[in-house]
């Protein structure tokens, strides 16, 4: 969901006036012109939870009976998720009369609470998602219903569609704008507003999507979650066009084709996403469904040079490394300071991870999870390589680069950033070697004094390896090594030279907004003006 960004006071004032409300009036169709597909498949288990009285939004449990649609005490992300109604997918997947009754009651309650424009609930992206969800599940909502619900539902949906036709172009840059335009395509396909312009809207959506993609086809927000969200919206819009027997514009098709390998790039062996740049692991079943709908077999690339990631897959082993700068302005509202971090998995077992994405608000948790110590990389004096603030980054790493070599199936990565050069006089250099048998990963983290710079005479460093929550770890050899056992029974050995290993507490937000206790292995010490070098190696010592 989108974080509430700075809005124009004039725009808010104008939309809150009776005259703007008058402009949203118009002809309400007697029925929907067409039925459109749901953007995502739902979860019957989550639907049962909503029927039972609990709605989970951005990790926050909300009452499913008459929720407060404008609650001041919860995060913007939770409010966005609540008002976007994408959880209708789950109630529809449940499919029972109780689920239908709950869904209809929640839609009715929202309509009564929103007779006209309201800030937040009527943001373009939230409105676009809500309209797509309502229209996709209209048959489920109206099944067996008498006269009262249908006219009320259509009147509200048409009013929202007329608002969206005006507001979609002003949605914040990024995935939020794609969501607004996708909702408008749905509204036009269903006849809530004139459908004559649906191809033009789809063309605008395709152009906007291409504008947001980097040269390698990855979305500019960088993380796997952004790739998936963008692909979900674009394939949904193309599905609505197919219902109308309208050809998808070339820009829309090319953006979808570009995003398919980008989505695959970030998937671990368990089917979920690596936890870079405000991304949670996601639902593998949903990811599979969207990729199938996209209809492209294009595999994940080994390198994403423009996005700044490298992917090394050997046998069952997968390593993904972040060797790029944070997202640029306009895409950095939730950017992470994870320069040179990496994740490692073997088969379906995750081993080294980042901590994930927080609740999506400006809370201490969200800021902490975006900071460098929440990533599997080196931290100097507990300082982030870039400095996250609630709406972006106040200081960003000046330069990040990565280089890849491959010989006889072995892979070398060399990465560096100068985010610590100004304050401490060091460049962080990380080298990683992945052997061609997928059983040996070696690395070296160095702090190299900047030539001619003012170098700190004493600076505390920590090389962190955050571990997946279900991993068992123990320190051996007086801190020179650690033994790791995965849930499937694989055994790995982590050895280090240049700093002793210790086990510390960590936290995993692999599931959206849901914290789990985990551990991290830390190699810590103090760097003097000559810098430091810490060598480490992961070796698989047994299989199960």
* Length, in residues, of the chain: 544
b/e per residue 98-126 (b: at least 16 CB within 10 A): ebbebbbebbbebbeebeebeeebbbbbb
pLDDT at 145: 60
Q: Using the Cα atoms of residue 330, residue 334, residue 337 and residue 339 in order, give the sign of their dihedral.
A: negative
Per DSSP, the three-state class of 426 is strand
pLDDT in tens, 89-101: 999 999 899 999 9
Q: What dihedral do alpha carbons 406, 408, 411, 414 form, nearest 10°?
A: -50
If we measure between CA atoms, which residue out of 499, 257, 466 comes closest to residue 373?
466
| Complete DSSP assignment for 361-416 | SSSHHHHHHHSGGGSSSEEETTB-SSEEETTEEEE--S-EEEEEEEETTEEEEEEE
490-500 residue pLDDT tens = 999 999 999 99
In the chain, domain spans:
194-307, 308-542
Q: Which residue has the tokens 């373009």?
A: 124
Which of these, 536, 539, 351, lies nearest to 440 by C-alpha position?
A: 539
To which H or E segment does residue 129 belong? helix 124-136
pTM: predicted TM-score of the whole model, two decimal places: 0.94
Q: Which of helix, strand or coil describes residue 271?
A: coil
φ/ψ region of 120 (left if φ > 0, alpha if ψ in -120 to 50, else beta) reads left
Regions of the chain where pLDDT drops below 50? 1-6, 362
225, 357 contact by CB (below 8 A): yes
Q: Encode 102-120 in three state secondary structure.
A: HHHHHHHHHHHHCCCCCCC
Given the candidates 3.40.50.1100, 3.40.640.10, 2.70.98.70, 3.40.50.720, the CATH classification of the domain at 308-542 is: 2.70.98.70
Cα distances (Å, whole numbers) of residue 84 to 58, 180, 332, 538:
12, 11, 22, 43
Which pair of tokens denotes residue 194?
Answer: 């004139």
CA atoms 232, 209, 399, 412: torsion sign:
positive
Per-residue model confidence (pLDDT) at position 19: 62
Q: What are phi and psi of 339, to 5 degrees?
A: -55, 130
Sign for the CA dihedral angle at 238, 241, 242, 245 comes to negative
Say how far apart CA 116 and CA 5 lie, in whole Å. Answer: 21
Residues 218 and 63: their CA atoms lie apart, in Å, by 37
Backbone angles phi, psi at 433, to 5 degrees: -120, 130
């Amino acid at each position: 969901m989108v974080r509430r960004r700075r809005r124009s006071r004039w725009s808010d004032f104008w939309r809150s006036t009776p005259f703007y409300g008058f402009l949203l009036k118009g002809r309400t169709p007697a029925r929907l012109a067409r039925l459109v597909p749901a953007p995502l498949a739902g979860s019957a288990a989550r639907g049962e939870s909503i029927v039972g009285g609990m709605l989970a939004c951005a990790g926050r449990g909300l009452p499913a009976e008459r929720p407060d649609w404008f609650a001041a005490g919860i995060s913007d992300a939770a409010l966005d998720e609540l008002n976007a109604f994408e959880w209708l997918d789950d109630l529809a997947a449940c499919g029972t009369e109780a689920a239908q009754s709950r869904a209809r009651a929640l839609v009715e309650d929202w309509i009564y609470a929103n007779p006209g424009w309201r800030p937040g609930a009527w943001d373009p992206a939230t409105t676009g998602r809500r309209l797509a969800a309502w229209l996709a599940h209209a048959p489920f909502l109206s099944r067996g219903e008498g006269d009262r619900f249908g006219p009320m539902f259509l009147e509200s949906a048409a009013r929202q569609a007329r608002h969206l036709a005006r507001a979609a172009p002003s949605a914040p840059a990024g995935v939020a704008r794609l969501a607004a335009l996708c909702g408008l395509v749905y509204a036009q396909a269903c006849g809530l507003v004139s459908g004559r312009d649906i191809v033009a809207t789809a063309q605008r959506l395709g152009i906007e999507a291409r504008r947001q993609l980097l040269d390698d086809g990855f979305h500019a927000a960088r993380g796997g979650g952004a790739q998936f969200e963008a692909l979900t919206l674009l394939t949904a819009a193309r599905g609505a066009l197919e219902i109308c027997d309208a050809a998808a514009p070339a820009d829309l098709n090319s953006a979808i084709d570009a995003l398919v390998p980008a989505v695959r790039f970030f998937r671990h062996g368990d089917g979920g996403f690596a936890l870079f740049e405000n991304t949670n692991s996601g639902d593998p079943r949903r990811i599979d469904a969207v990729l199938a709908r996209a209809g492209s077999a294009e595999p994940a690339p080994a390198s994403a040079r423009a996005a700044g990631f490298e992917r090394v897959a050997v046998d069952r082993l997968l390593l993904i490394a972040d060797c790029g700068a944070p997202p640029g302005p306009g895409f950095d509202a939730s950017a992470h300071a994870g320069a040179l971090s990496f994740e490692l998995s073997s088969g379906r077992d995750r081993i080294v991870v980042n901590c994930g994405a927080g609740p999506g608000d400006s809370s201490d948790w969200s800021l902490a999870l975006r900071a460098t110590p929440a990533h599997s990389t080196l931290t100097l004096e507990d300082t982030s390589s870039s400095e996250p603030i609630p709406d972006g980054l106040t200081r960003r790493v000046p330069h990040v680069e990565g280089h890849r070599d491959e010989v006889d199936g072995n892979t070398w990565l060399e990465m560096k950033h100068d985010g610590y050069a100004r304050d401490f006089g060091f460049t962080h250099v990380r080298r990683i070697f992945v052997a061609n048998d997928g059983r040996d990963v070696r690395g070296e983290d160095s702090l190299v004094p900047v030539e001619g710079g003012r170098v700190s005479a004493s600076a505390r460093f920590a090389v962190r390896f955050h571990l997946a929550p279900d991993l068992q770890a123990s320190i051996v050899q007086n801190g020179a090594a650690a033994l790791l056992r995965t849930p499937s029974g694989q055994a790995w050995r982590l050895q280090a030279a240049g700093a002793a290993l210790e086990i510390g507490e960590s936290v995993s937000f692999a599931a959206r907004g849901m914290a789990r206790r985990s551990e991290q292995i830390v190699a810590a010490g103090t760097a003097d003006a000559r810098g430091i070098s810490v060598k480490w190696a992961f070796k698989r010592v047994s299989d199960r």
